[in-house]
A = this chain, B = another copy of it.
Amino acid sequence: MISKRIEAAMAGSSAIRAMFMEGREMAARYGAEHVYDFSLGNPATPAPERLNGAIRELLENTDSLELHGYMANAGYEDVRGRIAENLNQRFGTDFAARNVLMTVGAAGGLNVVLKTLLDPGDEVIVFVPYFGEYRSYVGNYDGRLVEAATREEDFQPDLADFACKITARTKAVIINTPNNPTGVVYDEETMRGLARIMEEKEREFSTDIYLISDEPYRELVYDGIREEFLTKYYRNTIVGYSFSKSLSLPGERIGYVVVPDEAADSGLLLEGMSVANRILGFVNAPSLMQKAAALCVEEKTDVDFYDRNRRTLYEGLTGLGFTCIRPQGAFYLWMKSPVEQEEQFVEAAKKYHLILVKGSAFGRGGYVRLAYCVSHETIVNSMEAFAQLAAEYGLQKQS
């Protein structure tokens, strides 16, 4: 009796969740300390102290009907203003409250944007590998997902392939940098290249093509990489953000979307997104958390914690002879499977209580994803298991 579309979603989109469940069962059987679960992208550091303090202050000082009540579907005006101001300070942008729409996390934000943009059959380009949920989000509005390639050596977008994939029906391009699952941060050359191609194609087809930048990992960058605000490269850029990772509160569902004034039909888009927020059933982003997030925009997550994990994992795995893309951001490591059928490798890893996610869950076989948002101890202790796995595949230790 359930719909065919949800049946398909149930069958297709559960690889990460399935591995997570296997990890939990394994932990129950062998003890959590003997299972190395790299499946789920759940922050491993607690929320900054300030968050709970901010909530307490709000409970103390704010009228109940204001704190827990309805506001405009786009969110509280003062919260949107505070976020705009903070972005302007950090990135030299020029946003106002009107450019910001509060959303139920980045996932809610993407759905609101796609609902507002897509007519049935409109095409949305993603770069392989990509977060598997994008397929569902685009499908929700009868859009067509079009896959563009990345370069094998560094997983930056393959610009030549990208240019070929744009058609008169291309309505949007989703990018995700720092990237899930590869950990790659798009460099300036990539961003300028993407912008140039999109501008050319807009002229060629007389269309507007929106660049949707999905940035839940914006602040999680390493090796001195400077975070950028991507509206600077391309006029028709829409940025989706979530506080899930920066404030370690993924369960609270709080994020926002930014549409700059210079984007085509900016005002109409924002108005449409406000209606989409309502009719999709979000209505508005959770009220108390909107106000709490606004009080915490200056807070930073513990990047050093993830950085230490990253180094230990990357150095450990490459030392054992695995081929990995060196992560530059987010908390994912993208590792080449020693055999082309990476499902087989994922199965083999389970014998050593290592829980990995197959690359084909992200549209790219031959690789696996490791989420290193775990305790540092888990990584250190997992190395013996990885050594056994490497030995099984006859890998050569590197020195």
Contacts and interface: CB of A to CB of B under 8 A. Distances in A.
Interface of A: 1-7, 9-10, 13-14, 40, 42-44, 46-47, 51-52, 55-56, 59, 63-65, 67-71, 104-105, 107-112, 115-119, 122, 133, 136-137, 140-141, 208, 210, 247-253, 264-265, 268-269, 271-272, 275-276, 278-289
30 contacts: A1-B117, A1-B210, A1-B264, A1-B269, A2-B268, A3-B115, A6-B115, A6-B116, A6-B272, A9-B276, A10-B272, A42-B69, A43-B69, A46-B65, A47-B64, A55-B55, A55-B59, A64-B248, A67-B251, A68-B250, A69-B249, A70-B250, A104-B253, A104-B281, A105-B283, A108-B281, A109-B281, A281-B282, A288-B288, A288-B289
B281 A116 contact: no
Contact of A119 (B3, B67, B286): B3
Contacts of A285: 253
A168 B218 CA distance: 50
> Can you tell how many copies of this chain the complex includes?
2
A270 to B, nearest CB: 10
B251 A68 contact: yes
A392 to B, nearest CB: 32
A285 B252 CA distance: 8
A272 B13 CA distance: 12
A272 B65 contact: no
A133 B51 CA distance: 34
Given A116-B6, A282-B104, A251 B70 contact: yes
Contacts of A51: 68
B281 A68 contact: no
A58 to B, nearest CB: 10
A30 B112 CA distance: 37
Contacts of A250: 68-70, 283
Contacts of A13: 275, 278-279
B69 A268 contact: no
Contacts of A67: 251
Contacts of A278: 13, 107, 133
B272 A117 contact: no
Nearest to A255: B281
Nearest to A75: B251
B110 A281 contact: yes
Given A5-B115, A68-B250, A107-B278, 7 more contacts: A1-B210, A3-B119, A55-B55, A70-B250, A111-B281, A137-B279, A288-B289
